[in-house]
Structure 1
Amino acid sequence: MKTELKNIANIQTGVFAKAVAKGDMVYLQPKYYDEDGNRVTEVVPDLNSIGISANHHLQPGDILFSSKGTKNFATCFDDEDMNAAASTSFFVVRLQDRNVLPEFLTWHLNQPTTMSYLKAFAKGSSIPSISKEVLGKTEITVPSIQKQQLICKIAKLTTYEKQIHSKLMELRNEFYQQKLYTALNN
């Protein structure tokens, strides 16, 4: 089945708020993530929840789509223990269709063809921005739940394989550098 994203999910902007030194809520921003949507830094509560609408409190399964700048990605919020809100650099995609897995939709949005489509419609010369309307009109192919689960499993294993390969290359480089250093000093 093919459908537009707006037919299976609610899309809203993140909340505009000012970070504080010590808060009771995490204010998620794109700088906390790499290009693949993996969180790369620890986060601390830096937002006061007073005045933040309950609608802006992230729920497990919400998808954050980084819509501003050149680093566009989707990431699935899955931390049940984190009280968090997304910044305005994100669109929060909340699935309404139970036949779509959040992890699958995240994978689908991160595909090169989907990203190319979205970036083609980005507006702005200094800071390109993908609009809510364009994101909502993005065509999503929705296979069976079983196929979605299989795709997610393969994608997770592929990511794990990349991490292992990267670590192997790093260790191999250290090994050769040490060998060369030892040879130089003998």
Structure 2
Amino acid sequence: MDKKLKDIVTIKSGLFAKSDTDPDVYYIQATDFNSELEWIDNLNPILSSSHKLKKHFLRKGDILFAAKGKDFFAVVYDGKHQPAVASTTFLVMQMRTNHIEPAYVAWFLNHLKTQRILSGLAKGTAIKSVNISILENIEIIIPDYVKQIAILELFNLQKREKFLQESISKLRQDYYNELTFKLIQ
């Protein structure tokens, strides 16, 4: 089944905020994720809780879409850093249905074919951006729930395989470095 993104999610923009003294709220930015789209290690709260911020708090399962810059990407907010708000770099999507996995939507948005479409539709010359109207009109293919889970499992296996291959390559390089150094001793 094909749908437009606006049919399955509500999209709003992130919040502009400045750091405060006595912070207790995380301000999520694109730089808070590494190249594998995982949290960086040294994330700290930089905002102070207020009534204005509370209505922007992220909920577990929200999809953050980095809509500005050279790399567009989507991640599912896992609730690891709470409370948190998204910066203006992000468009925040909240699911309207329980029949679609947020991780599937993020996977679809990160897929090379979707990325090409988004890059072609992005506005701006110096800094490219995808606005809400562009994102909400992206057509998303929605398989049944079982297929969504299978796709995500395959994707996670692919990521694990890549990690293991890189680890093996590093260990092999270390081995050869040690072996060749022993030859000159």
Give the TM-score, by structure 1 length: 0.93
Q: Match of 2:83, as an amino acid?
A: N
Q: Which residue of structure 2 aligns with residue 11 of structure 1?
A: 11
8 Å Cα contact 1:36/1:73 also seen in 2:
no
Q: Which deviations, in whole Å up to 9, do the C-alpha atoms of 1:74-126 show, x marking residues without a partner?
A: 00111256211110000111111221111111111110011110110111111
Question: 1:48 & 1:175 partners in 2: Cα distance?
Answer: 50
Q: Which residue of structure 2 aligns with residue 101 of structure 1?
A: 101
Instruction: Give identity over the alignment, percent.
Output: 31
Question: 2:143 & 2:107 partners in 1: Cα distance?
Answer: 13
Question: 1:172 & 1:22 partners in 2: Cα distance?
Answer: 48
Gaps (5+ residues) in structure 2? none
Give the TM-score, by structure 2 length: 0.93
Q: Which residue of structure 1 aligns with residue 163 of structure 2?
A: 163
Q: How many residues align?
A: 185
Report the CA distance between 1:64 and its aligned residue: 0.5
Question: 1:81 & 1:44 partners in 2: Cα distance?
Answer: 9
Question: 1:32 & 1:144 partners in 2: Cα distance?
Answer: 32
Aligned pairs for 1:146-161 within 5 A? 146-161=146-161
Q: Which residue of structure 1 aligns with residue 20 of structure 2?
A: 20
Q: CA RMSD in A?
A: 1.5
Counterpart secondary structure, 1:70: coil
Which sits farther off after the overlay, 74-83 or 126-135?
74-83
Report the CA distance between 1:141 and its aligned residue: 0.7
Counterpart secondary structure, 1:52: helix
Taking a change above 3 Å as real, the CA distance of residues 52 and 158 of structure 1, as seen in their structure-2 partners, is farther
Gaps (5+ residues) in structure 1? none
Question: 1:52 & 1:156 partners in 2: Cα distance?
Answer: 37
Q: Which deviations, in whole Å up to 9, do the C-alpha atoms of 1:3-42 show, x marking residues without a partner?
A: 0001110001111001236411111100111344222333
Counterpart secondary structure, 2:52: coil
Q: Which deviations, in whole Å up to 9, do the C-alpha atoms of 1:128-147 show, x marking residues without a partner?
A: 11111111001011111111
Q: Which residue of structure 2 aligns with residue 136 of structure 1?
A: 136
